[in-house]
Amino acid sequence: MKRLMLLLLTIGLLNASCQKEDGSGDKPAPVVSSVSPLRGRAGTVVTISGENFSRLRKENSVKFNGVEAKIVTFNEENIYVEVPEGGTTGPVSISVAGKSVEGSSFEYMDPIIPYTTETFAGDGTAAFADGAGIAAKFNNPEGVAVDSRGNIIVADRVNNRIRKITPEGVVTTLAGTGVAGKVNGPAATATFNGPWKVAVDKNDNIIVADRSNNLIRKITADGMVSTIAGSGVRGSANGQGTSASFNYPQDVEVDASGIIYVVDYTNNLIRKITTDGMVTTLAGSTVGYADGTGTDAKFNAPCGVALDHDGNLLIADRNNHMIRKITPAGVVTTVAGNGTKGVVDGDLLSASFSEPYGLCIAQSGEIFVAELAGHAIRKITKYGEVITIAGNGTAGFADGATASAVRFTNPTDVVTDSQGRVYVADLANHRVRRLVQQK
């Protein structure tokens, strides 16, 4: 009898020992203290920290809103998992040896869809010729805008002309003789002097930053050219129409009510022209960097302007290597860029730009930036991240479907059409390029 009791006791002890070793004893429930990051795309590695996780892989299970995740590695305090394909925004749940706990909600970010870059018009020769696609020629195409019919309007800087590219790629000349001047009148006989960038209003009138003339000009939809503001003498005077002065106006934007905003490059100012022609200063003062209201703010060679869906202006602040925002009340803040020159992707204020020069805002609200010295096209997504969609910081010319293999040389402006296609003024390649998202 004693031997039987001893045998049973031995078996019991061995069984308890086995249970301890395989972790299947009565464990406390898992505790989750953090999930990081709380948003990402499929394939992102997420760290789940807490207590009472198992040392046995088979006992640990992690699901993203019900979809099983792949465990990369783990210990009793941390589980590292890959965000699964096909999941949706929702809670992260952890199960350990059959005991479950729910952690924080994880936000699924839309996947990054790459772009294919192609040549839309121009053959790379610095010359002038109308024609279809690569039969056309430009000489330093500096600015691009889109009209209500989907035509791309081009400020052909050295040719002193405003050109049009139809959705089919046919290039014609809208205004300018090719001779530098500031003659108003019918588009065929009017002259410009270094037209830098353009905007299109709701009636398809074209607003021109006629930089070397220090004027803001208008081309009506029926082909008449006039001067909206500027005396033609370099200066920073506010005032009515031609009594005001600019110092190399670089870019223009126009809102739905007809108010025009001017990036006054050398003055480091953002100016405003009302519908009756009154010019005032909205923001900026001396060269530098400072957020603030009105003249308390500072810019360093601002080059591009775009209007967002809330009536704010976004500014490509070239030599500060930043994207800035101006509210309708004139309050200036920094949207993106750490101030260091470079082509580095990342979160808004950790990313770097290399002379952002032109920008636009798509219907989706995403911001596209043409980087002059970075030879790249960047995108600021709705998630507050900066990504490079074409180019890699090296000058050259190459079309293609791989972002890092595409080459630009000093892209100066960018615009999107109603289908989300991106058009780039590829200045030193004398081409207009187009980026189309892959399917």
- Is pLDDT of 59 > 70? yes
Examine the pLDDT at 120 and tell me if it is beyond 90: yes
CB-hemisphere CA count at 13 Å for 330? 16
pLDDT classification of 25: cutoffs 50, 70, 90: low
With H, G, I as helix, E, B as strand and everything else as coil, classify residue 58. helix
Q: How far, in Å, are 151, 240, 277, 308, 335 from residue 384 at the CA level?
A: 30, 40, 37, 15, 9
- Alpha-carbon distance of 197 to 355, in angstroms, equals 17
pTM (two decimals): 0.90
Alpha-carbon Rg for the chain, nearest whole angstrom, is: 29
Q: Identify the pLDDT of residue 359.
A: 98
Could you report the per-residue pLDDT of 230-249, keeping only the tens digit for each? 999 999 999 999 999 999 99
The CA distance from 343 to 406, in Å, is 14
- Residue range 60-115, pLDDT digits in tens: 999 999 999 999 999 999 999 999 999 999 999 999 999 999 999 999 999 999 99
Q: What is the pLDDT of residue 439?
A: 87
Residues of the chain with CATH 2.60.40.10: 31-108
* Nearest alpha carbon to residue 371 among 319, 437, 326: 319
> Average pLDDT for residues 195-207, to the nearest whole number?
98
Cα 39 from Cα 256, distance rounded (Å): 36
Which of 252, 248, 323 has its CA nearest to residue 291?
A: 323
Please state, in angstroms and rounded to a whole number, the distance separating the CA atoms of residues 67 and 63: 5
Q: What are phi and psi of 228, to 5 degrees?
A: -85, -45
The C-alpha atoms of residue 342 and residue 149 are separated, in whole angstroms, by 37
Query: pLDDT band at residue 13, thresholds of 50, 70 and 90?
Result: very low
In the chain, which segments carry CATH 2.120.10.30? 115-437
CA-CA-CA-CA torsion sign (197, 200, 204, 208): negative
**pLDDT > 50? residue 16:** no
Give CATH superfamily name and number for 31-108: Immunoglobulins (2.60.40.10)
- pLDDT of 407: 98
Q: Which CATH number fits domain 115-437: 2.120.10.30, 3.30.110.70, 1.10.510.10, 2.160.10.10?
A: 2.120.10.30
* Tens digits of residue pLDDT in 352-364: 999 999 999 999 9
How confident is the model over 104-127, as a mean pLDDT? 97
